[in-house]
Homo-oligomer: A and B are copies of this chain.
């Protein structure tokens, strides 16, 4: 029986996430539901896209990933179901699947329009309950995706505009930005290990002292091997769990210490070039 993952901005104080699980348990009792998170900031499509693309590689390959961050609920926006090598993704067509689509080949996409599998009356404000949950349940119980509605082209899907990779400037510095801040205050950037190695040479991303990082008004010398490589309260740079450069504070919070957040600039370069 496939897993259904849920990723929403419903929070955990209201009953919305629980209701989706009630619908799924009613329609496909054997489906197993796993929460990715329900605490995406309200309407934060980008944050949801990041969380989804970070999490989906670690789920079973036949998972049905349901994302409901849907500020356009009740409008004419489409609901789409997309098949990839990382499972089926069900989401509003608002760009939230962009990062997944950049990572995995989309082998089929459908516009979810078959009202026979919705809960009626379909509300104007809670398609998580009335459309996403029953559709996920039917898919988990082996309904064919082609029954959801007409096939659509991958090119027709709404794309999020985001800086997937950093840029190399004329002085040879990798210019990236913060793409996520986690509970610990770690500043996760779009500078990948492979970006550093491509720009500065193989093996330059791990435990190197001659790569410097500029974040806010601070220069961090070297890329650490672990948080505790530096004293408590000290800043460090490290290759984090998604293979990207992160700025952290050992036993502290880099986001609040540096007053930086999503979209703020982070630069990496050989130390002799960082200040040029």
Spell out A's residues near B (CB within 8 Å).
3, 5, 7, 9-19, 21-23, 25-26, 29, 32, 34-40, 42-43, 51-52, 54-56, 58-60, 63, 71-75, 119, 123-126, 129-130, 182-184, 186, 225-229, 238-241, 246, 248, 250-251, 253
Using known A-B contacts A32-B25, A241-B126, determine if residue A14 contacts B183 with beta carbons closer than 8 Å: yes
- In the bound complex, do residue B183 and residue A58 qualify as a contact, i.e. CB atoms below 8 Å apart? no
User: Complex formed: what's the CA distance from A126 to B43 in Å?
Assistant: 27
Residues in B whose Cβ lies below 8 Å from that of A186? 125
Q: How far is the CB of A78 from chain B (nearest CB, A)?
A: 14
Residues in B whose Cβ lies below 8 Å from that of A21? 34-35
Residues in B whose Cβ lies below 8 Å from that of A36? 15, 18-19
- In the bound complex, do residue B60 and residue A238 qualify as a contact, i.e. CB atoms below 8 Å apart? no
Q: How far is the CB of A209 from chain B (nearest CB, A)?
A: 16
- In the bound complex, do residue B32 and residue A13 qualify as a contact, i.e. CB atoms below 8 Å apart? no
Residue of B nearest to A26 (CB): B60
Residues in B whose Cβ lies below 8 Å from that of A37? 12-15, 17-18
User: Complex formed: what's the CA distance from A3 to B19 in Å?
Assistant: 13
Q: Looking at the complex, which one of B9, B22, B40, B125 makes contact with A241 (CB distance below 8 Å)? A: B125
Q: Which 10 residue pairs spanning A and B have beta carbons closest together?
A: A74-B226, A126-B241, A11-B183, A22-B59, A18-B36, A123-B241, A13-B39, A15-B55, A22-B58, A75-B228
User: Complex formed: what's the CA distance from A110 to B130 in Å?
Assistant: 34
Residues in B whose Cβ lies below 8 Å from that of A55? 15, 18-19, 22
- 18 additional contacts, CB 8 Å, given A25-B34, A26-B59? A7-B18, A11-B182, A12-B12, A13-B37, A13-B39, A13-B40, A18-B35, A19-B58, A22-B58, A23-B58, A26-B60, A29-B60, A58-B129, A72-B226, A74-B226, A74-B228, A74-B238, A124-B225
- In the bound complex, do residue B54 and residue A10 qualify as a contact, i.e. CB atoms below 8 Å apart? no
Residues in B whose Cβ lies below 8 Å from that of A182? 11, 13-14, 16
Q: How far is the CB of A184 from chain B (nearest CB, A)?
A: 5
Residues in B whose Cβ lies below 8 Å from that of A39? 12-13
Residue of A60, A74, A228, A241 ringed by the most chain B CB atoms within 10 A: A241
Q: How far is the CB of A19 from chain B (nearest CB, A)?
A: 5
Q: How far is the CB of A222 from chain B (nearest CB, A)?
A: 14
Residues in B whose Cβ lies below 8 Å from that of A183? 9-11, 13-14, 42
- In the bound complex, do residue B10 and residue A226 qualify as a contact, i.e. CB atoms below 8 Å apart? no
Residues in B whose Cβ lies below 8 Å from that of A42? 183-184, 253
Q: How far is the CB of A67 from chain B (nearest CB, A)?
A: 12
